[in-house]
Chains A and B, each alone.
Chain A
Amino acid sequence: MATRSTDRPRRVNAGYLFVGGYTVLLLAFGVLPTLYAIWLALTNSRGQLVGLGNFTRTFADPRFLPAFANIGLYLVFWLAALLVFVVLLAIMLHGRMRRTTATLRFLFYLPGALAGVASIVVWLILLDPNASPVAPLLKLLGYQSLSATIAPGNLPVLFMIIAFWTGAGGWIVVMYGALNNISHEVLEAARIDGATVWQLAWRIQLPMIGKWVAYMLILAVAAGTQLFMEPQLVSTASFGQISDSWSPNQLAYQYAFAANDFHGAAAISVDLLLLGLICAVVVVFRTGLFDRD
């Protein structure tokens, strides 16, 4: 007969058995690399503690601030596009012509399947005025060659367009779901009361999906700071006109692989990890989207 005292520890142990495998992965590939990067960032190649030396050294690198400035500018465009167009499209698609809007949502979402290298391949060709189906538009804007369209000054906007193309559809789906949570009576009452579509969107729908908008923007900041693949590929295809350390993650990569300076690479990685961590913590503890427990 199991008594209380023998029964309880058994349940406790079972809990650990269920989460055990995952916890090992979490420690080995989540926690440990973070701690190791911090350790590397605080030491030098002889294993001596150097305090914040690696951080100040990388900060003083002439490529450091421009890389963060590039990312910052990209984020300004990216957040503005998400905020304005995702919310606008979700509201426009909501509550009308079910069949049509369901199809549209899916078609907007479809380019998400091309996220990654494929999207860059497609856009590098589409942005080339010599081969693009929208060549007249590019030429109208004054671009005569690929190297003119992917000039360094254009990159923040171009990366925003590509990110929007692959990523906006998913967020439209999320916002659409959030809009579905607004009670029908509230909307109907406002309509009966004479609210225009514009007022409905601005005064009811937008405030009620505010949490989700915040969630989207914070995650966009977190992901945007980590940009690597897009600038890396565009830089290799740019005939050398774009720096190979355009984004901070590329710079960290250069430290690790071009200069063999793991301590400097670790310092930049820790900067980026901190940014991601702050964003994640804000979402978990401040948006209220995850407090079910």
Chain B
Amino acid sequence: MSAVSTDTRSRDAVAPAVSRGPARRNACRRPSGVAARVAWTVVLGLFLTFFMLPVVWLVLAPTRTDSDIIRGDGLSFGSWENFATAWQRVFAYQDGALLTWLTNSAVYAFGALAITLVTAIPAGYGLAVMRFRGRKLLLVTTLISMLMPAAALVLPLYLELNAVGLAGSIWSVILPLSFFPFGVYLTYIYYSTNLPPDVLAAARIDGCTEWQAFRHIALPLAKPVVALVLFFSFVANWNNYFLPFVMLPSDTLYPAQVGLTNMLTASPVFNTSSGIIDIRRPELALAALVTILPILVIFLVSQRALVSGMLAGASKE
């Protein structure tokens, strides 16, 4: 590959190049060389293996037996019988604890999501179309808290909620999760760019109250941003580990993420003194798959929405 070429032109050669135009097309060196193509394929192939091998392994593992995972081929399909056995063992663990944990996860994730939606959508709208004292301060605080890692607040939140006697209840998980500044920011960006001020002004002249304008004009337009907030808030809520781990005292209240660690540490694979013998690698892999299933489904069905959301997270277009 002739990448490091003999070309001695300086940095600013780029601009004058525009005028010299097509005359130089022959000098154009696209990565069409065989060597460049091979390098491109090899590098991307290596990374593809890195990213996908664990996923493929995880999907195959529940169909195999533990001894097959240890002695057999690295990647192979076992049998549906093995899968059924693993399934039965995983859900029999501690009298169906996994089901309880998944239910808890759903309650926390959807509960927080509901509060997030009813607070963040109006707030983003208010910040985008209205002017009031403290608006700038609220925007900056929202940006900063959105960029702060959520884990930084977990222990302070525990100390606070412990002081008011809320720690340990399901509200100590749902309420902090429902504070989702990123959702407010997404809504704010959305209405600032997609809601023409004239439309609102016309509605006000027609005698609409601010609430009616929001209800009849802004809310019907909100679908795309509601989908985005829903996606990001749900994923964040479902995957949160640190907050429920710190807040909740009993394993009947655990969400799936914390429950999964309970299973991990009880497995004889990682704990030789464990009395539980039938939670081994296939079962752990299956439990991991089951707990991330909702997220996986959302990823698969909404890849386009989430890509645009990741960019909206910090784009000013």
Contacts and interface: CB of A to CB of B under 8 A. Distances in A.
The secondary-structure label for the interface of chain A is: helix
A20 to B, nearest CB: 8
Contacts of B184: 22
Nearest to A192: B24
A15 B131 contact: yes
A121 B260 contact: yes
15 contacts: A17-B211, A18-B125, A19-B135, A30-B153, A36-B159, A36-B163, A104-B44, A125-B69, A132-B74, A192-B25, A228-B154, A256-B158, A273-B153, A277-B144, A292-B189
A252 B155 contact: yes
A108 interface: yes
Interface string B197-213: 00000000000011100
Given A36-B160, A193-B14, 12 more contacts: A19-B132, A115-B239, A169-B51, A174-B313, A195-B29, A196-B7, A203-B11, A226-B152, A256-B158, A276-B152, A279-B147, A284-B143
Contacts of A126: 54, 57
Contacts, number: 341
A262 interface: yes
Interface of A: 10-12, 14-19, 21-26, 28-34, 36-37, 40, 85, 88-89, 92-93, 96, 104, 106-118, 120-126, 130-135, 165, 169-170, 173-174, 177, 185-186, 189-199, 203-204, 212, 215, 219, 222-223, 225-229, 233, 236-237, 239, 249, 252-253, 256, 262, 265-266, 269, 272-273, 275-277, 279-281, 283-284, 289-293
A107 B28 CA distance: 32
Nearest to B214: A18
A30 B141 contact: yes
Contact of B239 (A30, A116, A239, A272): A116
Contact of A170 (B118, B181, B310): B310
Contact of A191 (B30, B152, B154, B242): B30
Contact of B284 (A121, A191, A236, A281): A121
A277 B148 contact: yes
Contacts of A276: 148-149, 152
B69 to A, nearest CB: 5
B56 to A, nearest CB: 9
